[in-house]
Every structure is written in structure tokens, then in C-alpha cells.
Amino acid sequence: MMRWSDMCQEDAVVVNVEARDVLLTDLEARLRAAQGFSVATLNLDHVTKLRSLPSFRKAYQRQTHVTADGNPIVWFSRIAGQQVSLVPGSELVDPLAGIAARCGVPIALLGSTESSLEVAAQSLRRRYPDLQVAARIAPQMGFDPTGPEAEEHIAALATSGAGLCFLALGAPKQEIFAAHAAQQLPQMGFVSIGAGLDFISGQQVRAPRLVRALAAEWLWRLASNPRRLARRYGACIAILPRLLHRSLRIRLKGGQKPV
């Protein structure tokens, strides 16, 4: 199995979701049983952060499900002998909203901005008339995912009646908040979706389907905001040789079966 950290085996982060359909089936069963979960979607930016942010790495280790969100994660996993499919967080919002509507599980939206959350909630309710949006929470700038404001939002989630919470805080805040909140709300599901709600509301525009099919979404994003993303993508490119070497080494050793 491909292990996404430079730490000891006990500290490693692994992708444990093989395919989207398998994930959705399991999450639906958990929602029906009021059994909590937390979903993180691993990409190259996260891998670079895992190396330098111990709090992020610990939060990732406490996620119940980790998907491959990014073609390089899929490719390196497959080179290492682990067959996984691409499961971006932003593409989980619609199917999970549909499942929540079908199961009668209210949802909460946390992150982004008040205007984006309102439009996203309206859009989701139009698509799924039975969907209940129990809470819309837009944290303040500088939000601390384990600080006093986080505790206020956890209390609000607890009283909202929601059973599923979409987190649009960006990494590492959303994963850290999920790990922190899950301890107090063991019956709730948390899904980290990055810009997923902003895509629905139109606050951000996702790359066209053809660009995504060509695995060039990162170029689309870079072109849209080069000053903000150049350093981030530079760090991602810099770790590619090391990840390729590690994947080939695991493959040559015969690989390891996913747990």
C-alpha cells in the first residue's frame, strides 16, 4: 500500500477507498444507522502539508475514509500496486445530498461565505426537493478549527438535527475540524469538500469536463489564479520524483494489499 508520509508506519496516511460506489454504499448505511464518519480526499497539496503539519497528519489519521482526490494520487497508488479510483470531494456533494434526502437525514453546510451557502442550499433543494438543510454556518476569517468559535459551531450542529455536514473550509482546517468535531458528535458524518459548495453556488467555476478528463484541472486553476497557486503547485511538482521512486520501490517489493 502506498503510504503518504515520511513518518513511521504508525503515523502513515493511506487511501482506504477503492471506488466511489463502494464509498457511497458504505456512507448510506452509516447515515441510516446514525453512525458517524469523516471523509478526507487526498491530493498532492495535502501530501506536502502532511510532511510539515503534525496537526494535519494526526487529523488525517482519524478520518474513517480517505479517497484519492487527484490523478497523481491515483497513478502513484496504482504503480505501487493499489487499485483505486479518482474520487474528488467536490463530486461527492450531489450524490450524498441525494442519499441524505432519500434517507430523511438533514444536512449542514459549514464554510465558504453566507451568500455562497445560501445559493448552494437553494440549488441543492431544487435538485432534491426532500432535502432538509438544517444549518448553514459561515465561520469568520481566521477561523481556528479547534478554538472557541469551533466549539460554538459544534454546539450549533448538535442542536440543528443534521446528520451529515459538508465542510468547505479548505485544507487543513476542514480535516482538523472534522476530526475534532467527530469526537463530540459521533452520530454525524463529516465530508471535506473544499470548493464544492462554491462550485454549486457559482462563486467559483470548475474546469470544463474535457480539461478534467485530460488530468489538466491543475493547469486550469493555475491559469485562473497564478499568484496564489504558483508556490503551491511548485511544491507539489517538487515531490513527484520522490513519490514515483517510493511507488516503484513498493511495486518491486511485490506491493502490499490494501487494508
pLDDT of residue 39: 98
pLDDT at 6: 56
pLDDT of residue 121: 98
pLDDT tens digits, one per residue of 94-136? 999 999 999 999 999 999 999 999 999 999 999 999 999 999 9
**Angle at CA of residue 119, ends 113 and 225, nearest 5°:** 55
- The confidence score (pLDDT) of residue 255 equals 55
- Burial (CB < 10 A; 0-12, 13-18, 19+), residue 172, is buried
Give the list of residues 6+ apart from residue 134 with CB closer than 8 angstroms, or none: 106, 107, 108, 160, 161, 162
Residue 246, Cα to own-chain centre: how many angstroms? 24
pLDDT of residue 219: 78
| pLDDT for residue 149 | 98
Task: Quick: pLDDT tens for 176-195.
Answer: 999 999 999 999 999 999 99
Q: Is the peptide bond before 172 cis (omega within 30 degrees of 0)?
A: yes
> Which positions of the chain have pLDDT values less than 50?
7-8, 256-259
Query: Within a 13 Å sphere around the CA of 33, how many CA atoms are in the beta-carbon half?
Result: 10
